[in-house]
Structures are given as C-alpha cells and as structure tokens.
Amino acid sequence: MPDRFYSVEQVAEHLGLHVRTIRNYVRDGRLHAVRIGKQYRIAHEDLEAFTGRPAPAPPGDADGRRPQEQRQHTEVSSIVEIDAITPDTADRLTALLMSLATHRGPGHAPLRIETAYDKGRARMKVIVLGGLADTARIFDYMEGVLAT
C-alpha cells in the first residue's frame, strides 16, 4: 500500500490546531515529517503515532490519489496591447473586465485581470491570467467592446 501523506494544513485542520503549532511540533521533533522543498509532509502512520488514534484518510479516492492529481490543470498568461483606444472605451473595457473577474460563481478557477491605459499614446494593456475557457471568453468580450 502506498504511503499516504498529509500537509501541515490538513493536520492542523484535523486536530483543530493552528498551522504554526503543527510546524512547531515538527521542528521540535514531536511530530515526524518529511520536508519536500519548502513544505512538510506527515505520513499517515506518523500522525496516528502522534495522536494515539486512527487518522482519517487523506483527501482523494480509494486509490490514494489527491483530487488535484486527477484533474489536469491548464492556465493561460496573456498580454493584450490595444492601440488607438479612446479613454471612454478603455474605461468601459476595464469596467467590464473587472466585473467578469470579480463576479464569478463558486467552484470557478481563479481569474486575474489587470489593465493599464496610457493616455499620451492612446494605448491600453490588458493582462489576463486564468484558465483556457475563461481566457477565451474574456477575449470574446473584449472583441465585442472593441468592435463597437
């Protein structure tokens, strides 16, 4: 059976303790953990030994894989430069994009949008960081505003 590991955050939530408390337990040697990069991972058996009671299974399916390992994640980083744009159109586009980024339902992947307008050059830059489908929709909205 493959080893099952918990993050410090998962252990803290399970025990009802602060994350810093768990990190201190690890640093003091009271709770055995493995350091991977900048993060600690606590084995299922070590958590049971520490608490003296059975530990819950780590999040995931019966095969032990965590949800993020099951889903493929794709993210897009885009910079769009728009020349010869009026201040009014830039304001309308910024308001629309900010609204799209902030009024999202639960369960949606994060979407980050930043805009900058240079009045002297009548140039606007839009930075979009998000998933493929969200980014494509953003570009469609932008095209609609710019076509008018």
Q: What is the pLDDT, as a whole number, of residue 45?
A: 87
CATH topology classification for 76-147 = TATA-Binding Protein (3.30.310)
Delimit the CATH 1.10.1660 region(s) of the chain.
Answer: 5-70
Q: What is the pLDDT, as a whole number, of residue 148?
A: 73
pLDDT above 50 for 1: no
pTM of the model: 0.52
60-97: pLDDT as tens digits: 544 455 555 555 667 889 999 999 999 999 999 999 99
CATH code for the domain defined by 5-70: 1.10.1660
H/E element holding 114?
strand 112-118
What is the token pair recorded at 140?
A: 């469609």
* Separation CA 104–CA 29 (nearest Å): 43
Please give the radius of gyration of the chain, using alpha carbons only, rounded to the nearest integer: 23
* Separation CA 28–CA 75 (nearest Å): 39
96-146: pLDDT as tens digits: 999 888 877 666 777 889 999 999 999 999 999 988 888 998 999 999 989
| DSSP, res 55 | P
Place of tokens 């201040």: 87
Delimit the CATH 3.30.310 region(s) of the chain.
Answer: 76-147
Place of tokens 């201190």: 24
